[in-house]
Amino acid sequence: MMQSRPCYALPPVRGTYGENAPLKDLVWFRAGGNAEILFRPADAEDLATFLYARPADLPVTVIGVGSNLLIRDGGIPGVVIRLPASFGKITAEGTRVRAGAAALDATVARAAAEAGVAGLEFLRGIPGTIGGALRMNAGCYGREIKDVFVEAKAVDESGTIVTLTADDMAFIYRKSGAPDELIFVEAVLEGEAGDPEDVRARMNSLVEQRESTQPVKAKTGGSTFKNPPGHKAWQLIDQAGCRGLMHGAAQVSEKHCNFLINTGEATAADIEGLGEDVRARVKDRFGIELEWEIKRVGIP
């Protein structure tokens, strides 16, 4: 069990600290343990102050809205940073959209449509925030963040606010090569001029497609495994006989085999155990090792 650090040992901030803070209601799986300390910074400068002044041995973990995250049942030691709504501002500047890291991807897509910016419709189909999308080069329907990326701002571990170019981000499939310690606070994305009504129509079509093929109303972490080169993860999982497979209260979705769902009160161990079972079955059947797309953090 984690021993909580007293708040007075942490640097003074304008945001808020919370000890032994429950996290399960902050993530889409609705499972997992607590944060030893949960920190919500007031703004980027407050975040920078914290990172500059924090004890050197204090672990730091960043979470967004938890759409692609599994927090293990033992919780997360150290400080968990969750950017509040003040980091979610969105503005359009011509064909560019500037979005705070806490802005929901879907909200950014809608704001772009209203501003007559085309090319960002795919964000409507990605759960989570812009910060998470930057970290994992999120994408769907043939487009990904790297296709629309201009620049990002982040805070490094010393509390310095830095600007990153596309080269700095080193995007590859479902991953950014930017240093793990960077905490993204803002991104600039570029589309092209478009008619708002046409953009909204394309976006609505993507939403209908997603809702018809994915268990979007279930307690899930989204797409579980990356597509191996030349294969689709869901097909491998299905052909390995895993559709509907259960581990405790966790289940492989009947609707889309690359989604794991919490059918009730599944623990994080249930969900991760099911995922490892799926990986083992696919490996035995096809000799292919599925790679987790969902990020797993914390103490088992």
Catalytic residue numbers, as ranges: 174, 223, 293
Tokens, residue 86: 């003040």
Q: How far apart are CA 172 and CA 147, in angstroms?
A: 11
Q: How far apart are CA 92 and CA 284, in angstroms?
A: 50
The string of DSSP letters for 135-203 reads HHT-EETTEEGGGTEEEEEEE-TTS-EEEE-HHHHT-BTTB--S-TT-EEEEEEEE-EE--HHHHHHHH
Tokens, residue 42: 């007031």
- The conformation of residue 13, written as its DSSP 8-state character, comes to -
CA angle 108, 112, 114 (to 5 degrees): 120
- The conformation of residue 56, written as its DSSP 8-state character, comes to T
Amino acid at 135: R
Q: How far apart are CA 256 and CA 221, in angstroms?
A: 12
CA angle 169, 279, 298 (to 5 degrees): 60
- How many other CB atoms are found less than 10 A from the CB of residue 7? 13
Q: How far apart are CA 151 and CA 163, in angstroms?
A: 7
Three-state secondary structure string covering 118-153: ECCHHHHHCCCEHHHHHHHCCEECCEEHHHCEEEEE
Tokens, residue 19: 């000890």
